Structure 1
Amino acid sequence: MDSLPNLLWLRSFEAASRLGSFTAAGVELGLTQAAVSGHISALETRLGHALFHRTTRKVDLTESGRAYLPAVRKALQDLAKSTENLFGGKISGAVTLRAPISVATLVIAPALAAFLESQPELNIRLLSAIWADTALETNIDFEIRLGAGQWPGCQAEKLGDDFVVPVCSPFLAKGLKTPADLLKLPRAHILGFDDHWPRFFETLALPVHSPTPSVTVDTSIAALEWVSSGGGAALLLERAARPLAASGRIAIPFKEKIPLGQGHYLIHRQNAPPSRPAVRVTENWLRELFGS
């Protein structure tokens, strides 16, 4: 163990490499700029290699620094996780996440009560958005997005595969005998999704007599309200539709479903700091929620 550098030096190195500034690293770590600079100078002396190119406004990693950073970052993350797993302790704090408005409302919010009952020290701030931005806001711990998993400047982890199912009101469902009967109902299209109706009917080898939807809305919530009031049929996320059908608010008249063609992803900014214990607990809960 004599070859291991001081842990404080390594923390300063990781923060400065991620933030590109000794001053910013000091603010994050609660240290002065001089202290961070001293830690890194001591680490460079200990290793016998320069880790940063220093300029007036910023610092950039040298080739040696870039090679060393992944191992340092992984070691710090592993140490934090091992400490938490072995010794536990109170997991508290505020966690801010953002998700598409329909997912936030129909999937995450209904499951929050049970989660917070198991983690009473957490304070969850759930923000919603209709359309995903390319850049992740700095005041958000992480985000859930729907797409193909490729967003510039972000790290994406797929949470699970999604399917869509036909839904209508329980009253209308009583008059449906086969999936072909859905062709007789007005249909809703949700902006931001492909029009899945043609693909749904093609899967069942059914012709689409009226390719134009009767109603176009910009959220699944609006489609849900239209459906539950007896307006017609819509294709909703299965994970959102199943609990609503169990409550009797809507009906899933047939077992047929099709892949959504996109997935929900857990999004972090590239080069984000290691997640706090409260954030990791929340992320693990969402992995279970979307993986079920």
Structure 2
Amino acid sequence: MDRLPPLNAVRAFEAVARRLSITIAATELHVTPGAVSRQIRTLEDALGIQLLVRGHRQITLTRAGEDYYRAVTKAMDGLREATVRLTRRTRRTQLKVRAYTTFAMRWLIPRLSSFHAANAGIEVLLTASLDEVDFRREDIDGAIRLGDGKWSGANAYRLVPNILLPVCSPALAKQVRKPADLQRQVLLHSIARPEDWGFWLASTGADKLVDARSGMTYQSSAMAYMAALEGQGFAIAQRFLVEDDLTSGKLVAPFRQAVDMGDFTYYLLTPADRAESTSMATFRAWLLAQFQGTAAG
């Protein structure tokens, strides 16, 4: 037979075969015993095979009925499992969050699995962009942005101290002793952060000797950090984004001088004119907790 059997009848058969009782099966299915008996006969007629032996007070399965019951049970269990997976997925709340590429790659993505593990009902849809955020025109729930904490139409939650310092490979660190020595080294820049080397060099007084614009420029800080890891030069880094590499020794901070950018740092932005959803509140609390205890200097 190349078509499906009558599915209502299959459902009735599964209940009867499992319970070995038409009366109990009828109660489970919220129909009359007579309706169940008719469904069983319909299925047997469609198959051309007897599935049940009806005794005076007992129902037993024929051998064909036992084989068919095992097959039906497996199929229905698979259908139930697929339904549960689907309904769980559709019940998940999608939270749309925007971040910078470097922030996402080096800090947020490695930690998102812990958020999803603790909050199975929330799915974070993460995008990366340098574009300004406009909650009134865009379908996003939150954004991680660098600035002074003042955004029109947004609530701003300060995340982390923004500490700038040069980093390089251990081998290159041996070639410098003081900031002025950088005049003979390759500086690595990010297009998105062209002023960082200038800020740091000015804080050390080496800006008169070292050209803050010299060196190699990359599309993102993540690329500049990768170049530093490969020994191609000195990157000006935001410390929390390279903390793991500094701890492991893959990168070295060759100078003690660092610059705290104060209020100019990373913030989580949420729409000011919308009530905060439970999912956004959960994500915000988790994100802020990740930065608790982050050193300021």
TM-score of the aligned structures, taking structure 1 as reference length: 0.61
Alpha-carbon distance between aligned partners in 1 of 2:283 and 2:157, rounded to the nearest angstrom? 14
Shift of 1:186: 0.8
Alignment RMSD: 2.5
Aligned twin of 1:267: 269
Alpha-carbon distance between aligned partners in 2 of 1:179 and 1:211, rounded to the nearest angstrom? 12
Task: Determine helix, strand or coil for the equivalent of 2:162.
Answer: strand
Alpha-carbon distance between aligned partners in 2 of 1:130 and 1:249, rounded to the nearest angstrom? 28
Aligned twin of 1:282: 283
Alpha-carbon distance between aligned partners in 2 of 1:137 and 1:243, rounded to the nearest angstrom? 37
Give 1:115-130 correspondences, 5 Å limit.
Answer: 115-130=115-130
Aligned twin of 1:114: 114
Aligned twin of 2:173: 173
Q: Assess, with a 3 A threshold, how the Cα gap between structure 1 residues 263 and 136 changes in structure 2: closer, same or farther.
A: farther
Q: Assess, with a 3 A threshold, how the Cα gap between structure 1 residues 274 and 201 changes in structure 2: closer, same or farther.
A: closer
Aligned twin of 2:10: none
**More moved, 131-140 vs 267-276:** 131-140
Q: What is the letter of the counterpart of residue 267 of structure 1?
A: L
Task: Determine helix, strand or coil for the equivalent of 2:267.
Answer: strand
Aligned twin of 1:222: 223
Unaligned runs of 5+ in 2: 1-90
Give 1:41-56 correspondences, 5 Å limit.
Answer: none
Unaligned runs of 5+ in 1: 1-90
Aligned twin of 2:251: 250
Q: Assess, with a 3 A threshold, how the Cα gap between structure 1 residues 134 and 271 changes in structure 2: closer, same or farther.
A: closer
Q: What is the letter of the counterpart of residue 236 of structure 2?
A: L
Alpha-carbon distance between aligned partners in 1 of 2:112 and 2:184, rounded to the nearest angstrom? 38
Alpha-carbon distance between aligned partners in 2 of 1:116 and 1:265, rounded to the nearest angstrom? 21
Residue by residue, what CA displacement relative to the aligned partner does 1:10-36 show, whole Å, maximum 9, x if unpaired? xxxxxxxxxxxxxxxxxxxxxxxxxxx
Q: What is the letter of the counterpart of residue 105 of structure 2?
A: T
Residue by residue, what CA displacement relative to the aligned partner does 1:146-189 show, whole Å, maximum 9, x if unpaired? 11223333232322331111111222123333343333211122
Give 1:176-195 correspondences, 5 Å limit.
Answer: 176-195=176-195
Residue by residue, what CA displacement relative to the aligned partner does 1:123-158 show, whole Å, maximum 9, x if unpaired? 222211133334465432211111122333323232
Shift of 1:194: 4.6
TM-score of the aligned structures, taking structure 2 as reference length: 0.60
Alpha-carbon distance between aligned partners in 2 of 1:212 and 1:138, rounded to the nearest angstrom? 35
Task: Determine helix, strand or coil for the equivalent of 1:130.
Answer: coil
Aligned twin of 1:200: 200
Aligned twin of 1:26: none
Aligned twin of 2:164: 164
Task: Determine helix, strand or coil for the equivalent of 2:132.
Answer: coil
Q: Assess, with a 3 A threshold, how the Cα gap between structure 1 residues 228 and 131 changes in structure 2: closer, same or farther.
A: farther
Alpha-carbon distance between aligned partners in 1 of 2:149 and 2:136, rounded to the nearest angstrom? 14
Q: What is the letter of the counterpart of residue 147 of structure 2?
A: G
Aligned twin of 2:144: 144
Q: What is the letter of the counterpart of residue 244 of structure 2?
A: P
Alpha-carbon distance between aligned partners in 2 of 1:257 and 1:92, rounded to the nearest angstrom? 43
Aligned twin of 2:28: none
Q: Assess, with a 3 A threshold, how the Cα gap between structure 1 residues 168 and 272 changes in structure 2: closer, same or farther.
A: same
Aligned twin of 1:88: none
Residue by residue, what CA displacement relative to the aligned partner does 1:101-127 show, whole Å, maximum 9, x if unpaired? 111111111222333333344322221
Task: Determine helix, strand or coil for the equivalent of 2:128.
Answer: strand
Asked if 2 retains the 8 angstrom alpha-carbon contact of 1:136 and 1:268, the reply is no
Give 1:49-68 correspondences, 5 Å limit.
Answer: none
Alpha-carbon distance between aligned partners in 2 of 1:96 and 1:268, rounded to the nearest angstrom? 11
Q: What is the letter of the counterpart of residue 152 of structure 1?
A: S
Q: Assess, with a 3 A threshold, how the Cα gap between structure 1 residues 209 and 267 changes in structure 2: closer, same or farther.
A: closer
Shift of 1:233: 0.7
